[in-house]
């Protein structure tokens, strides 16, 4: 284990990349979106961003990929900054224990999703941000561009269109919650915003940098405050308990950091007060999390001793 006072991240990342390269079995790329199905499941990139904006990387760490559900973290932060605790009247903070696109719990719980990171909860958060901004996806993209320092970040219209074409379950979730009065906007508008936010392409470097406001306890890259310290703690806590769907307990056990995955193969993680990480490898396990990504984060916390525990 390396002590944090003597820690240099580049050798750690290189060691992890070498170990991942020797590991058999990297899962399967998501197959319900053609652009994701075409990805090589053995691709691998990893980046670490320090609080001053210094970034270390290895492998395909500058290769843009489909962020998918990782963007739910940023949409949550943008809405929580605007409406505060009122948000929690519309979405819960508990692990679901069910797949990310499940409808099962909504009927038992009167249209209130368990947490902001399952699809139903993310739809509610996007809906509320849409009401407050008039363009939730555009607000998100602007934020990611500013925090990452990459003005070239953009939507992938082909991915958004593909998700829309296969979006019946998300539409069902939205209509069901609307029946309980928990959706404000027209469903087609909400779904368009949601699919566009999930389609954003970014690299490990971009996402590690964009996430550092959570390691800085709510302070953005330009030193302005987005969230209170308490709100940043809340988001980190929900990432730890809910950020990898029904595998969140195993992720907390293995990695010990707040994290959020996406079916594009990316995973972001936060070491509060120290750094942020993003790993990308498109091969997924049966729960939709990157096999190599989770393994790499496991090795990172083991080698460095950086964990919230």
Q: Cα separation of 140 and 193, whole Å?
A: 10
Query: Within a 13 Å sphere around the CA of 130, how many CA atoms are in the beta-carbon half?
Result: 21
Catalytic residue numbers read 69, 72, 194, 245, 263
């Amino acid at each position: 284990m390396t002590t944090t006072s003597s820690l240099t991240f580049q050798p750690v990342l290189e060691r992890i990349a070498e170990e991942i390269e020797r590991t058999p079995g990297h899962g399967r790329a998501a197959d319900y979106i053609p652009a994701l199905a075409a990805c090589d499941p053995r691709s691998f990139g990893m980046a670490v961003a320090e609080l001053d904006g210094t970034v270390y990387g290895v492998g395909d760490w500058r290769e843009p990929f489909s962020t998918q559900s990782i963007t739910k973290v940023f949409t949550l932060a943008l809405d929580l900054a605007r409406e505060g605790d009122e948000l929690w009247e519309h979405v819960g903070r508990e692990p679901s224990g069910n797949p990310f696109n499940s409808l099962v719990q909504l009927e038992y719980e009167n249209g209130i999703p368990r947490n902001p990171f399952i699809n139903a909860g993310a739809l509610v958060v996007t809906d509320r941000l849409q009401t407050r901004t008039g363009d939730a996806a555009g607000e998100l993209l602007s934020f990611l561009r500013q925090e990452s320092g990459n003005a070239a970040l953009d939507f992938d219209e082909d991915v958004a269109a593909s998700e829309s074409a296969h979006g019946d379950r998300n539409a069902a979730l939205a209509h069901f919650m609307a029946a309980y009065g928990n959706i404000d906007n027209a469903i087609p508008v909400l779904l368009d915003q949601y699919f566009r936010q999930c389609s954003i392409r970014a690299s490990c470097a971009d996402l590690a940098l964009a996430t550092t406001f959570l390691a800085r306890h709510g302070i953005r890259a330009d030193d302005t405050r987005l969230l209170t310290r308490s709100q940043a703690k809340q988001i980190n806590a929900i990432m730890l308990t809910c950020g990898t769907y029904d595998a969140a307990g195993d992720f907390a056990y293995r990695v010990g950091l707040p994290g959020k995955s996406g079916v594009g193969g990316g995973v972001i993680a936060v070491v509060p007060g120290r750094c942020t990480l993003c790993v990308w490898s498109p091969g997924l396990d049966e729960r939709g999390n990157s096999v190599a990504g989770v393994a790499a984060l496991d090795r990172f916390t083991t080698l460095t001793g950086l964990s919230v525990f």
